[in-house]
Amino acid sequence: MTRWPVLLLAFFSVSAFALPVAQGVPVQALAADTPPSASQIVAVPPGLQALLRQRVISAGPDREARLQQLVEMIFARDGMDLQYDAAATLTVGETWQQRRANCLSFTLLFVTLARSAGIQARVQEVDQVVSWYQEEGVLYNVGHVNAGIEVNGRSGTVDLDRNVLYDRKGPRPIDDARALAHFYNNRGAVQLEAGNVVAARAWFDAALRQSAGFSAALNNLAVLEGRQGNLSLARAHYMEALRISPRHTPSLINASSLLARMGDRAGAARLQQRLQHVRQRDPFVQYLLGTQAERAGDSDRAIHFYRRALRLYDSAHQFHFALARAYVMAGDLPRAGRELQRAQQLGGAAQQSRYQSKLDSLQRWRHQQAAHAAL
């Protein structure tokens, strides 16, 4: 499958944790009004429709040409000039008005416009990703959405983050209802963090009307009920989320804390045991533990966790690069070099120059070390 990287962005599929507040939700001023209907979320304003006809549809019947024109129209300064804003979970109309979007908003915009231009497009979902950036090596153990397309007999993915590492299952097409559930859930999470309980509940309910089995919304609704003291109702929502998604980490964490709060120590212990089992088999969690050890200067533990991550997911070039850093920290330059070479092999063309630069630097360092030892 071809992937068309467009721009470096990241989408956070929001699942709140019961303590202290919702996780990963940028504070944003949103009206606490009635959630819009599904048709209102994806309605294309007349001005945007006119721009689409002028810049994309007029390019001719060839779908690939229209695809390229669509990407250019969205990001070009003489088009929409769309800017990234992590807090901007917006409708298509709001995105057009404000010219900003997060990854979810962009995906809804792109899929809607692509379909209007005769391009087969769908929203795709990834349960977990590692979004990794060159300067800081940041890890996001979160959900992600992107656009899947069919153009002239070829399948492709339009993803706004070329550095994202998918889980092993990769992107999976979802129906429009589940895509809209993401939208309602994210807006609800913002209201939850702002303390707007009535509005938050309305948004979460709207998400669940779109997708009754959406674990993130069930979890967030349970957090809300727990904060309101409705512990039995919160427990019911957590248990439903875990019935649907037994490995859903936020629900496991939150539900175990709630059960302990309610005095059900045995139930809390069972969930903690399940959580530990999930974490031990989650390469992203092992990678996170490795980064924590690396930042603490503990090279041995970093190596231990990075190697565990690779045993679970050995084709991730980010994991090999992390292990190389840990080996450098430990002074094991030969192993560091081997891991850098493996990272370069797996990283593809986009990472070739980056890893080659690291290899060259490591090679110079090794020569310097050898020369110093010979003195």
Please give the DSSP secondary-structure letter assigned to residue 19: S
Q: Is the pLDDT of residue 10 over 60?
A: no
Q: Of 174-183, 221-230, 234-243, 280-289, which range is least confident?
A: 280-289
Q: What fold, for 283-374?
A: 1.25.40
pLDDT tens sequence across 115-143: 999 999 999 998 776 654 333 443 333 56
pLDDT tens sequence across 203-215: 999 999 999 999 9
Segment 149-165 shows an average pLDDT of 79
2-178 and 212-278, same CATH topology: no
Q: Is the pLDDT of residue 21 over 90?
A: no
pLDDT tens sequence across 31-69: 446 899 999 999 999 999 999 999 999 988 999 999 999
Segment 348-353 shows an average pLDDT of 71
Please give the DSSP secondary-structure letter assigned to residue 78: T
Residue 38's pLDDT is 95
Q: Is the pLDDT of residue 264 over 60?
A: yes
Confidence of residue 73 (pLDDT cuts 50, 70, 90): very high
Confidence of residue 169 (pLDDT cuts 50, 70, 90): confident
Confidence of residue 285 (pLDDT cuts 50, 70, 90): confident
Confidence of residue 324 (pLDDT cuts 50, 70, 90): very high
Confidence of residue 257 (pLDDT cuts 50, 70, 90): very high
Residue 375's pLDDT is 57
Assess contact for 202 and 34: CB atoms under 8 A.
yes
Distances (CA, A) of 278 to 260, 268, 287: 20, 15, 14
**184 vs 361, higher pLDDT:** 184
Q: Is the pLDDT of residue 30 over 50?
A: no
What residue segments make up the domains of the chain, in order of their start? 2-178, 212-278, 283-374
d(Cα 14, Cα 217) in Å, to the nearest integer? 8
Confidence of residue 163 (pLDDT cuts 50, 70, 90): low
Distances (CA, A) of 238 to 20, 211, 253: 17, 16, 10
User: Where does 2-178 sit in CATH, by number?
Assistant: 3.10.620
Cα 251 vs. chain centroid, distance in angstroms?
18
Please give the DSSP secondary-structure letter assigned to residue 352: H
Residue 117's pLDDT is 96
Confidence of residue 263 (pLDDT cuts 50, 70, 90): very high
Contacts of 337 (CB under 8 A, 6+ apart): 324, 359, 362, 363, 366
The per-residue pLDDT of the chain, averaged, comes to 83
CATH 2.40.128.120 fits 212-278, yes or no: no
d(Cα 135, Cα 25) in Å, to the nearest integer? 23
